Amino acid sequence: MLVNSLFALLFLTASSVNGLPYRRFHTRATAATDDSASGDAAPSTAPGNATAGCSQASTYTFDDTNHANITMGDRSFLIHIPANYDATTPHALVVSFHGFKGNAQKQEKITGLSQKGLLLNGKGLVAVYPNGQFGPGKNGNESIRAWQGAPYSPPGIDDIAFTQQMVQQLSDNLCLDSNRFYASGKSNGGGFTNLLACTPSTASLFAAFAPVSPALYAGANPADCSPGRPVPIINFHGLADKIIPFDGQDADKEGRTEYATPNITEFRAAWAARNGCDALSASALKSALKSNVTLGVNAIVSHPHTDTTLKQSDCSANNNHAVVNGFTIKGLGHSWPSTAGLDGGVTSFNATTANILPFFDMHSME
C-alpha cells in the first residue's frame, strides 16, 4: 500500500515541530532562617529532580480513595496518588490518555495504573488521567472526547500545550521526580502519546512513551517528526484489531483517506531507525546473541507471553539506550492487554504491570 510503503521514509524526515523545545524550570521554596529578614535563606535540601510541589503547599484535595478531580480552565484531569504518598519525596508521574469516546475514569479502569502497590523507582507512582475536549466525532455532528492528531479531534485545540500546562501544575502541587515523567495512551490516546514523543517540547518532558493499540493517523505521525533525542518506546498491538489494523490501511471502510494508518511493523522500525538502531549483519547478530546483548532494528525476537511476540530494538551500541519494544498479540482486538479483559480482550498477561512499568523503570531523563 502506498501510504504504508512511504510511511517509514516520511517518518524519518527531521524538522522542528511546535516551536522551541520546552524546558521545565521548577522554583523551590526555601526554609526560612533567623537571617530571613535580611534576605538570606537556607538553601533547599530537596534533590535536583524534585519539583516545586516537594517544598510548598498543594492546592489539591484528595478523597478517601486518594483521588482528586482537577479543573484547569476549561480542561480537567483525574489524579490518583499512592496510599504511601510522601509530600517530601519525589514520585514518578505516569500520564495516561484515553481513547476516542473514552474518559479519565475509563482509562483508569482499563490500565490498572491506580491499583494498590505499584512502584516506580522503588516508590508509589502518581497516575494522571486527562480528559480530551469534545470534538465533532466521525460523523462530523457529534460531541465526543478526542485528542489532537485524529480526523475527529476538535479543531483548533492544542493538546500539546494543555499537556505541558497540566504537568507544570502537577509539578507545582505534588512532589514529583522531574526525571521520571512518562506518557501512555490507548487508541486515539495512543496516537496522541506518539505525537508527544515526536514533538521536541514533550519528547524532552517525558522519559519514555507507551502507545497501546494506537490510532496512528497522519496528524499523529507528522512527516516532520523530530523529537530532538532518541526516544524509548514500548508498543502493544493485536493482530485481530479491526479498528486500527495491524497491517495498516489506506482508508477506512467508507473510503476516507484521512483515516489511513501505517503498518505497525513499519511504524516500530521507523522509530528504531530514528533512534539510531542500525541493522546488524548475520555475524554481528550471532555475536550479540551470544553475549546476550540486544542490538539492531529488529535483532531480538522472543515470546514473553502466550500468543505474544516481542521484537526488541536496543540502540545501546550507540550509547543512547533508546529501546523500542514492540509486542504483537495473536487474537487480540482493539484492547489494552489484560487478564481481566476490562477493555474487551483477554490476554495471558497484564501489560501495565508485566511490561510497561518495568520498561518505564529502566528509563529516566538523568
Could you tell me if 223 and 15 are in contact, meaning their C-beta atoms sit under 8 angstroms apart? no
Domain membership of residue 207 as a residue range = 53-244+278-361
* Residue 127 within any structural domain of the chain: yes
- The reported pTM is 0.84
> Which of 169, 147, 142 minimizes the C-alpha distance to 158?
147
* Residue 188 within any structural domain of the chain: yes
Number of domains in the chain: 1
**80 pairs with which residues across the strands?**
67, 127
- Tell me which residues of the chain have a pLDDT lower than 70: 1-46, 219-224, 278-299, 315-321
Place of cell 477506512: 252
- Predicted confidence at residue 270, as pLDDT, reads 83
- Predicted confidence at residue 136, as pLDDT, reads 96
* Residue 218 within any structural domain of the chain: yes
* Residue 259 within any structural domain of the chain: no
* Residue 78 within any structural domain of the chain: yes
Query: For 250-299, how does the pLDDT look when each residue is reduced to its tens digit (9 = 90+)?
Result: 999 999 999 999 999 888 888 887 887 755 444 554 554 454 444 345 45
Give the CATH number for residue 355.
3.40.50.1820
Query: For 305-316, how does the pLDDT look when each residue is reduced to its tens digit (9 = 90+)?
Result: 999 999 988 766
* Residue 41 within any structural domain of the chain: no
- The separation between the first and the last C-alpha atoms of the chain, rounded to the nearest angstrom, is 41
* Residue 194 within any structural domain of the chain: yes
Could you tell me if 322 and 231 are in contact, meaning their C-beta atoms sit under 8 angstroms apart? yes
* Residue 249 within any structural domain of the chain: no
